[in-house]
Structure 1
Amino acid sequence: MSDDKLDVSSDAKDEVNEVNELGPSATSLASGDSQGIETLQKLLAEKHGVQERRLQWKIDVCVVPALILLYFAAFLDRINISNAKLYGIEDDLGLQGNQFNIALTVFFVPYVFFELIANYLAKIFKPHWCFSVSMFMFGCATIGCGFVKSFGGLVTARIFLGVAESATFGLIFYILSSYYTPRQAQKRFSFFFSSTTLAGAAGGSIAYQIYNGIGNKHLANWRWIFIIEGAVTVFIAFLLFFITPDFPETAKFLKPNERLYLKEKLQLYSKVESGFEIEFTWRDYLPLFKDPIFYANALAYLGLVVPSYGYAYFATTIIKLLGYSAVSAQQHSVYPWLAAFGYINVVAFLSDYLQNRWCFVLSSSLIAVTGLSMILGSNDPNVRYGGCFVTSIGLYSAMPGLICSTSLNLGGHLRKSFGTGFQIGFGNIGGIIATFLFLQKDAPHYRHGLGTSIGFVALSIACQLFIVLYLKRLNIKKTKTEYISKFEDLSHRERILKGDRAPDFRYLL
């Protein structure tokens, strides 16, 4: 079979013609048959001299662990202030009223603002530079939190932390969605996202060990939490410079033939070109602000962020109020996170196996509502603690499913760059909201915060339903002759930048 018959990197119309030339299996691809796609994928591997399984293992080893390590450190540095609270940071710094909540809030202001900018800069400076510099900065900011003497010092350190961490979460999902097909993605996305639950568990465990293992009278235990975790982060930053992956088109761990194979394989599934070689500017971002799907994606994520950060920041406080000591509360806060880690990965396996995303996102969201209701509606300590388990497994399994689904439904570098950055950046406004939901005056039941959290999950569910119906409508619209003709009238550059709006791209439902 000649190479020219397998040139799947041409435009959509030529690709369909070539598919027909490849015989029955290729024709099945045009109609969306998964067996046909797998056949073409094997032909691609033969064309480029690639062993599929070995390459897939290589990608998994070189991409996912480095990103997990990065975000594990980032999330740990972000939420360790909740552990410091149990060890007396408020008393030592003389925090009064809502000053602790303000210290939480200021992190999110720069984080929201710089998220989209970070995705744009990654295309210019390469992700491994962005990640390493970002991690070094937020490691230093975390160490700084351990030496602050006042409320003003704490706020300043948290602002720097927010600026530095803005180049992490959105960019990570941007990169992950550039390496994996829809059938492969959910397990990797969720396995990565489960690092947040491990970070939550590790935060409580580290704080517990610090209390038992460090007897330095010159520094309070809460200061050691920041210093130790920040120092480890700085060390990891140097390591990640050498192991963090760039985009597939420039990744150093891939050979030239592997890059070509991966690019064409992903194009087989999406039916659109990635557009990596095309330079785009901020002006190309502007029309995307008119697309309602980006706002629906962001609002759905925001609805989950509010209760998720509320839980991450205040779970240890809630558990302590159930009758545990500060040290025992740190220990008991670990177990719901571990339960969430297991559940996330089970759901991810089922989602990939059944090739269904939104069913699991919606069901996990409903589980989260159940858990929050258990904490809100009961005075029984055992029921409220059980609600912490149900809440964590619901929230932290819904979020990776949602982000994975929205990322895979974006085609081309322009729309992926904008869509992931906008979703994560706008969605993290929920972090600002969350910090003022669980106020000291509402303890011990926090009815206002829990009730509002339930409302935000309901908002997310409504947006999820809208996304499914809207994308289903777009899939139908793309089959219309008028839509196809209008798209073909665009210039080659405009067609590539349109990404998933191409007629041949089918949204996952």
Structure 2
Amino acid sequence: MEMEKASNSSLKDQIREVQSKEEGTIDDAQTLINQREKKLRLKMDLWILPIVTLLYLFCFIDRSNIGNARIAGLEKDLHLKGYDYNALLSIFYISYILFEIPGNALCKYIGPGWFIPSCVIGFGVASIGAAFVKDFAQLAGVRFLLGVFEAAMLPANIYYLSRWYTRDELVFRICFFILSASLAGAFGGLLASGILTLDQVAGVTRWRMIFFIEGIITVILGLIALVMMTDRPETARWLTSEEKQLILDRVKAERIGTTEVVDKFTQKKFIKGFTSPVVVATSLMFFFNNITVSGLAFFLPTIVRTIYPTHTVISQQLHTVPPYALGTVACLVLCYGSWRMKRRNIFITLAAVPAMVGYIIFLSTDKPSVRYAATFLPMLGIFSNGAIPASQVSAAVVSDTARLSAVAMYAMIGNLGGLLSTWAFLPFDSPDYVIGNGLNLAVQGMILVIGIGLFFWAAWDNRKRDAKDIDAELQGKTVHEIQDLDWRHPGYRWQL
């Protein structure tokens, strides 16, 4: 309890200071503090979110543009047969998963302000390389490298934002870069259709231009990010000393038992990150949701082609845009609601329902217009279920080190779902894709079940914690031992 009092002392001192200067009441002082925080939050949003969102947008474009290239002639030119395309998607996820946790550990070591832009430049170069491949083996090598550089992007961005925002604010901020996944589908389709109207760029033609142009844009953004990204509040030149301290005080105030935002690495706290029951359950929900998200990213152009086989390639590309546009709007609305209501799990759980309805419709009809309409329904929830679970994982631990391992494991387990999705839509299952759509119906149902179960478990565990004597539980423990408790601290409560 002493540590908790210490972590909140700075904010209380500010309130007393404002009170004495303004000769007002505590309520008046708290109102002024809230106004300061609101102004500071807007300043952080305008400086941090645009660059993070742009970087993740092209991260997702560079991994999923192979779907656009596929219907523009990639398979024919590289003489791909059978399951070659599925294998190429899987190779990306193999390196993506293997380098997830090591990459995030490296992110903490060198700092996200340097690590994230360096990764962006790396996968931009890999995308450019895909424009010059001659066969399956070369493209497989490029896809493997792409996975290496993209591996830590999701957890690194979550970890980066958690240095700046409180856990209630985090969900809406994570939403801004997660919705890049839906924007990538919409913008990627528009960009690909626009690129394909060109004859050639620097001698590069047809589908190769998609990789080439999008890769160059990515590298440029990475170079800009090297200059613009601020590693942590203490090093931000665009903040005053008072603003830096307020950011640190706000983050420390809700981290029970901590005295610093960026703590020293300990093995005990690192292990606490991926053993948190809420982290494990939420990671499983992300695993199931990622089967749907990644499956649509790689196969929606192919699905649209089976719905409208007589349309031109550009028309088929453009038909992928509206569902993703709807997904972007739905993601913003649900994440904003989660932030304002200070609830996460209920949004995660209920977001699976429209997706289930969409897949039921797709499986029960062969009418093209109805099937195309059914592709919109999953978009109402699957992208918010990339952002909101991420903030729930971040909120389910206390220390910076535990958060590092928690978000890394969350991303790793989620991307196992991405790996599975590469084999969901198989050539022999075309054009109805009964297996792929049936699988997506099942996994969305699992999200619903786990979300309901997690709600009741957290309420039960909080009641157990309420019955404990906090001072007695902490008696005899050193400061470091209390910090290593993390979510096992008796004063901690699950907030879903």
Secondary structure, in 3 states, of the residue corresponding to 1:246?
A: coil
Q: Given residue 118 of structure 1, which amino acid in structure 2 is its aligned partner?
A: G
Q: 1:337 to 1:125 in 2, by over 3 A?
A: same
The residue type paired with residue 209 of structure 1 is G
Q: Is the 8 A contact 2:127 2:146 kept in 1?
A: yes
Aligned residue number for residue 12 of structure 1: 4
User: How far apart, in 2, do the equivalents of 1:308 and 1:89 lie?
Assistant: 22
Cα contact 1:303–1:458 (8 A) shared by 2: no
Q: Report the equivalent of 2:393.
A: 406
State the one-letter code of the partner of 2:350: S
CA distance in 1, matches of 2:207, 2:27: 54
**What residue in structure 2 maps to residue 383 of structure 1?**
370
Distance 1:463 1:372 in 2: 19
Q: Establish whether residue 167 from structure 1 lines up as the match of residue 152 from structure 2.
A: yes
The DSSP-based 3-state class of the residue aligned with 2:284 is helix
Q: Cα 1:63–1:288, aligned 2, differ >3 Å: closer, same or farther? A: closer
Contact 1:368 1:391 in 2 (8 A): yes
Note if contact 2:278-2:393 (Cα within 8 Å) is conserved in structure 1: no
Deviations 1:315-359 (A, max 9, x none): 111111112332211011001011111111122222223332222
The CA deviation string for residues 189-236 of structure 1, in whole angstroms up to 9 with x for no partner, is: 222221211111111111111222335796441100000000111111
Counterpart check, 1:242 vs 2:227: yes
2:133 aligned to which of 148, 166, 177: 148
Distance 1:113 1:41, change over 3 A: farther
Match of 2:164 among 179, 186, 194: 179
Deviation sequence 1:417-457 (CA, Å, 0-9, x none): 11111101121011110001101111001110111112122
Is 372-381 or 104-113 further displaced after alignment? 372-381
Aligned ranges 1:31-430 → 2 under 5 Å: 51-215=36-200, 219-273=204-258, 275-282=260-267, 284-286=269-271, 288-323=273-308, 324-430=311-417
Return the match for 2:445 from 458, 473, 479.
458
Distance of aligned partners of 1:207 and 1:297 in 2 relative to their CA distance in 1, 3 Å threshold? same
Tell me the percent identity: 28
Equivalent residue of 1:213, what SS? Answer: coil
Equivalences for 1:468-483 in 2 at 5 Å? 468-481=455-468
State the match for 2:21 in structure 1. none
Of 391-400 and 347-356, more deviation after overlay is shown by: 347-356
SS at match of 1:11: helix
CA contact (8 A) 1:302 1:430 kept: yes
- The CA distance in 1 between the partners of 2:178 and 2:259, in whole Å, is 24
- 1:492-503 map, 5 Å: 492-503=479-490
More deviation, 451-460/96-105: 451-460
Evaluate the alpha carbon distance shift between residue 352 and residue 150 of structure 1 in structure 2; reply closer, same or farther with a 3 A threshold.
same
Distance of 2:352 and 2:26 partners within structure 1: 32
- The code of the aligned residue for 1:127 comes to P
Q: For the structure 1 residues 74 and 258, does the alpha-carbon distance in structure 2 shift closer, same or farther, using more than 3 Å as the test?
A: same
Cα distance per residue 1:131-169 (max 9 Å; x no partner): 121111100100111100010001100000000001211
Whether contact under 8 Å (2:131, 2:204) holds in the other structure is: no
Match of 1:27 in 2: none
Distance 2:375 2:334 in 1: 19
CA distance in 2, matches of 1:95, 1:427: 28
Change in CA separation of 1:72 and 1:21 when aligned onto 2, cut-off 3 Å: closer
Give the Cα separation in 2 of the matches to 1:216 and 1:286: 50
Q: Deviations along 1:26-57, whole A, 9 cap, x unmatched?
A: xxxxxxxxxx9997865768xxxx93333222
Deviation at 1:77, TM superposition (A): 0.2
Deviations 1:87-116 (A, max 9, x none): 111111111111111100111112112222
What are the superposed Cα offsets for residues 267-324 of structure 1, whole Å, 9 maximum, x if unpaired? Answer: 3344442644532145653455544333212211101000111111111111111123
User: 2:278 touches 2:396 (CA, 8 Å); kept in 1?
Assistant: no
Tell me the distance in 1 between the aligned counterparts of 2:154 and 2:452. 25
Moved more, 108-117 or 471-480: 471-480
Shift of 1:395: 0.9
Query: Is the Cα contact below 8 Å between 1:414 and 1:497 reproduced in 2?
Result: no
Change (3 A) 1:249 1:411: farther
Preserved contact between residue 83 and residue 316 of structure 1 (Cα < 8 Å): yes
Ranges in structure 1 where 5+ consecutive residues have no aligned partner:
1-8, 25-35
Query: What is the TM-score when the length of structure 1 is the normalising length?
Result: 0.88
Given that 1:249 and 1:276 are in contact with CA atoms closer than 8 Å, whether structure 2 keeps it comes out as no
Query: What amino acid maps onto 1:191 in structure 2?
Result: F
Distance (whole Å) between structure 2 residues aligned to residue 20 and residue 187 of structure 1: 27
**CA deviation map 1:226-277 (0-9, x unaligned):** 0000011111111001112323344443333222211212233444426445
Equivalents in 2 of 1:488, 1:110: separation in Å?
46
Tell me, in whole angstroms, the C-alpha distance in 2 between the residues paired with 1:16 and 1:176.
21
Q: Contact between 1:143 and 1:231, CA under 8 Å: does it hold in 2?
A: yes
Are 1:128 and 1:241, in contact at CA under 8 Å, matched by a contact in 2? yes
Contact 2:7 2:258 in 1 (8 A): no
Partner of 2:20: none
Match in the other structure for 2:436: 449
Q: Which moved more, 1:157-166 or 1:274-283?
A: 274-283
Q: C-alpha separation between the residues in 1 aligned to 2:7 and 2:216? A: 52
The amino acid across from 1:473 in the alignment is: W
Hey, what's the Cα distance between the residues in 1 that align with 2:176 and 2:211? 26
Q: Is the 8 A contact 2:159 2:407 kept in 1?
A: yes
Residue deviations 1:375-397, cap 9 Å, x none? Answer: 22221111111111111222112
